[in-house]
Structure 1
Amino acid sequence: MSGDRKLELSADEMRALGYRVVDMIVEHAAALPDARVAQSASRAEMEARLREPAPAEGRGWNSVLDRVSAEVLRPMTHNSHPRFFAYVPGPGNFVGAMADALVSGFNPFAGAWAMSPGAAQVELVTLSWLREACGLPATAGGLFVSGGSMANLTALAAARHHLLGEDFSRAVIYTSDQTHSSVQRAARVLGFRADQLRLLPADDGFRLDPARVQAEMDRDKAAGRIPFCVVATAGTTSTGAVDPMGVLAEICRAHGAWLHVDGAYGAAAALTAEGRAALPGLGEADSVSLDAHKWLFQPFECGCLLVRDATLLRDAFRLVPAYLRDTDLSEEEVNFRDWGVQLTRGFRALKLWMTVQVFGMDAVRDAIVWGMRLAEAAERELRARPGWEIVTPAHLGIVTFRWRPAEMEDAEVDEEQRRITAALAADGYALLSTTELRGRTVLRLCTINPRTGEAEIAETVRRLDAIARGPG
């Protein structure tokens, strides 16, 4: 294909390309349950396949898609696979994927109301659904961001601006050693010193201990420091543990501190009765992060931040240089560029909005509950087999466990968990991951994909058991 300075295809070529892309996605989804969960390749292999000078002449979209299929998308771990139980799955859904295609094709600028009022209004409506689910008041608002890392960063930036102003040298942030590493990264990016972030030992249930937080705050205040912010977690990555948010909110109010809840994993469960029961105090937070690309089944990237007083986001981030005044029209019209870090931002809300419109919120709720049931099923399967120890019972779709032969020392048992994980990955049927709890390596299943069946859970446990009892 010769060069085209307009970077255009004909209408017929665009249709043909689009149809083939859709066919590739559908074929991938249909074949996924029978495929290996993960395939990888070394850096040397990928360099050999893909390293080249930029082509001066176009090669035609058909041959390029052939190459994408064979060389780019083949060696990958399928986060949306029904037997991907590692880390936190990204189940996605086809409607969300098509919403992303629409967003890419129409390319709306979602930073200013005047540029795309439909995008802004859909974002406002979708945020209101999540706000209500989390139990936050009508004053709350927020925005969609790339994920939990950016949501946590944005929340801490808004809190710092509101409570500390320009001088935050004496401020202290309190959280547990089970908190996601993105909180540490956010503090670093925002200029907090390492000694301003207190990673407190979690209690026996892997939760942030309010008594320890209270004691640390009192000690810091007596020493002339400022208790600034507590970061609680609604669904830790390792165990699904939920920090006592209501009690922590009371402590924060007494000290004039901010309570941020990292609910990137678990907050979406508040859409269900079971989830609300597991998340008491969520609505008392000053801010909540939530990842729709986890337990709301959206393609990456679809994170969200909600702030109890939405005006605090605008106070922290709004800047209107001369070249943007034409789009700064009315207080009623929300310019999301004023509510976060990004000026240029994509229309992330559409995929969640379309998913709910197509399937209905009841179906989304049922899918969330199914994830909890699958973790409970995995726990039952494990308890039925001798030699397996449940470390933390199924909670919010996560169960942790350990193969524990009686004759082995702890260090040997740790190595056994790593051997089992590697052997299951090599088997290809399912994938899980390890974590560390109380200094010991444990196995972990996260079961939030609504397309996973109970039979697949049972077969995964059967294969784990066979690997564990096989030669080491």
Structure 2
Amino acid sequence: MDVNPKDRPYPADTLGMDSSEMRRLGYAVVDAVVQRLENKHCEPAIAAKDPGPLLELLGGALPEDAQPAEASLELLIDSALFYQQHGDHPRYFARVPGPSSFAAIIGEWLGVGFNSIAASWPGGAGPSAVELVVIDWLRQLMDLPEDTEGVLVSGGSQASLTAIAAVRALKGQGCVYLSDQTHASLVRALSTLGFTQQQIRILESDPQHRMSAQSVQEAITVDQGRGLKPMMVIATAGSTNTGAIDPINELADICLEHKIWLHIDGAYGAPAALTDSGKRCLDGIQRADSLVLDPHKWLFQPYDVGCLLIRPGVLENCFNMNPEYLKDVQGNESATDFRNRGFELTRRSRALKLWFSLRSYGVAKFRKAIDYSIELTEFAEAYLRESPQRWEIISPAQIGIICFALRGASPEEHERRAQALSESGFACVTTTKLKGRTALRLCIINPLTTQADITETIDRLGCE
């Protein structure tokens, strides 16, 4: 390979920072990150600040000249990076936490440091190869067919948007069936892609907050009688509200009978399939035509990385793009150009962190961590049931999520208690609404969380 001679070196930094200064700042960043990880339990689970003071602190006039790097680094760490939700805090139970692992952080740093791109094979053969490997590893974890293809994107929202667009390009317009517990991003994706209200069939969930297979069958029959075309069923494998898992095998049978596409949103819950108990709950997930999961949730990756796994050839059928200015970066027939598997042309390498962490820890450690979270949520339910005069279980422990209520409390009282606990910094919890009833909700997926963290959080929610 003909490269520049070593006797004509270029500066290390594009804009001229000295390499010794680069190392000094780099080591300072590593120290700051590790120190923060060591002490994250001492910081609030969530910290907020009004926009005015924060913008004043971080903003001001456009800096024409260089500012001291140490001061800027300190400002970022103490202000910008402090005032946020800390999803890796052991008592952050709101929404779906993101407790990232350090090996994954290292993989992310490498991708950024090497300015990696995974858009075309000629332009990023190495990063693209890593992504293909990671996609196949995730396929294996989910027990999907060997010819399954995929793509890494920012998260579940973009993954499902990508899947719906690709399926519509394959099958044409039609009706899509989902439940009132399907993640709101799916409804947004359908609306964004131009599906009409008549085509978006939101069905009432059953008493266990699952999609009813009978309701789906009835809706399909009605639509066919009206001359409408059923196109897709969207099932949920671990709903955000309750962790509920739709009856996947029943829905798969319906889809098979009517030749309808089965899309499964497992952004949160799908990795539970690594465990014995989760695999039983998620039986049938391998029958999906497309499946979404978010490694930045229960696979302990830093934001952002979502994965779409899908039947072969569907993505390229929709997204293939080869204009004249990309002719020189087209791969051969055996190569994969990831720009042709989704909306993104400029694509950073999201696979490196997942590849490095899976190799560094081994799948067994991931499995053990997920199993522990499931058991800890069951412990939370048992602890709540010890005080039936005080607590009521609204939705039992399901793959890391439990919803409960303080007996006699109004919706406003639940919200007040959740907000007060979050503002205290000790823990962060949220409320949700199920069948019109407000409930407190814990999502417990951090393997650093202890039983004591659970009991004290519940006790603080229940104290007068």
Smaller-chain TM-score bracket: over 0.9
Equivalent residue, structure 1, for 2:334: 332
Distance 1:400 1:97 in 2: 32
Determine which of 355, 379, 382 is the counterpart of 1:380.
382
Matches within 5 A, 1:405-424: 405=408, 413-424=410-421
Residues in 1 aligned to 2:47 and 2:331: alpha-carbon distance in whole angstroms: 51
Aligned to 1:316: 318
SS at match of 1:107: coil
Q: Distance in 2 between matches of 1:76 and 1:128?
A: 34
2:81 maps to which residue? Answer: 73
1:251 is matched with which residue?
254
Q: Displacement of 1:70 after TM fit?
A: 2.5
- In the TM superposition, what are the counterparts of 1:66-465 in structure 2 within 5 Å? 66-164=74-172, 168=173, 171-307=174-310, 309-385=311-387, 386-405=389-408, 413-465=410-462
Q: Give the CA deviation at 1:426.
A: 2.5
Superposition deviation, residue 194 in structure 1: 2.4
Deviations 1:373-421 (A, max 9, x none): 111111111111231001111110001100013xxxxxx5222211211
Contact 1:317 1:338 in 2 (8 A): yes
Which one of the candidate residues 43, 48, 53 is aligned to 2:56?
Answer: 48
CA drift at 1:211: 0.8
Is 295-304 or 425-434 further displaced after alignment? 425-434
Letter in 1 for 2:177: Y
Give TM-score scaled by structure 1 length.
0.93
- Residue 24 of structure 2 corresponds to 16
SS in 2 for 1:195: coil
Kindly provide the amino acid, as one letter, of the partner of residue 120 in structure 1: S
Q: Percent identity?
A: 42
Residues 47 and 423, structure 2, Cα contact 8 Å, conserved in 1 = no
CA deviations 1:257-289 (Å, max 9, x no partner) are: 111000001011112222111101101111000
CA drift of 1:372 comes to 0.4
Post-superposition CA distance 1:112-162 (Å, at most 9, x none): 111222211111111111112222101111011000000010110111011
**Letter of the 1:40 counterpart:** A
C-alpha distance in 1, partners of 2:74/2:457? 33
Shift of residue 366, structure 1, vs aligned partner: 0.5
Is the 1:108–1:115 Cα contact (8 Å) retained in structure 2?
no
What is the Cα deviation at residue 48 of structure 1?
Answer: 2.2
Q: CA offsets, 1:180-228, max 9 Å, x none? A: 0110111011111222111110001111111111111111111111101
- Segments of 5+ residues of structure 2 without an aligned counterpart are 1-11
How far has the Cα of 1:85 moved from its partner? 0.4
Contact 2:238 2:266 in 1 (8 A): yes
Deviation at 1:53?
2.4
Q: What is the CA–CA distance in structure 2 between the aligned matches of 1:435 and 1:118, rounded to whole Å?
A: 44
Deviation at 1:91, TM superposition (A): 0.4
The answer on whether the counterparts of 1:148 and 1:264 sit within 8 Å (CA) in structure 2 is: yes
| Structure 1, gaps ≥5 residues long | 406-411
* Paired residue type of 2:372: W
The residue matched to 1:38 in structure 2 has which SS?
Answer: coil
- Give 2:252's aligned amino acid: A
C-alpha distance in structure 2 between counterparts of 1:28 and 1:187, whole Å: 40
Shift of 1:5: 10
The TM-score, its normalising length taken from structure 2, stands at: 0.95
Contact 2:13/2:19 (<8 A) preserved: no
State the SS of the aligned residue for 1:343.
coil
Structure 2 letter corresponding to 1:339: R
User: In structure 2, how many angstroms separate the alpha carbons of the residues matched to 1:100 and 1:8?
Assistant: 24
Alignment partners' CA distance in 1, 2:398 and 2:277: 10
How far off its partner does 1:74 sit?
2.1
CA contact (8 A) 1:147 1:303 kept: yes
Partner residue in 2 for 1:409? none
Give the 3-state SS of the residue equivalent to 1:175 in structure 2. Answer: strand
Matched residues in 1 for 2:461 and 2:327: separation? 61
AA in 2 matched with 1:435: T
Separation in 2 of the partners of 1:119 and 1:426?
42
Aligned residues between the structures: 452
SS in 1 for 2:231: strand
Letter in 2 for 1:433: T
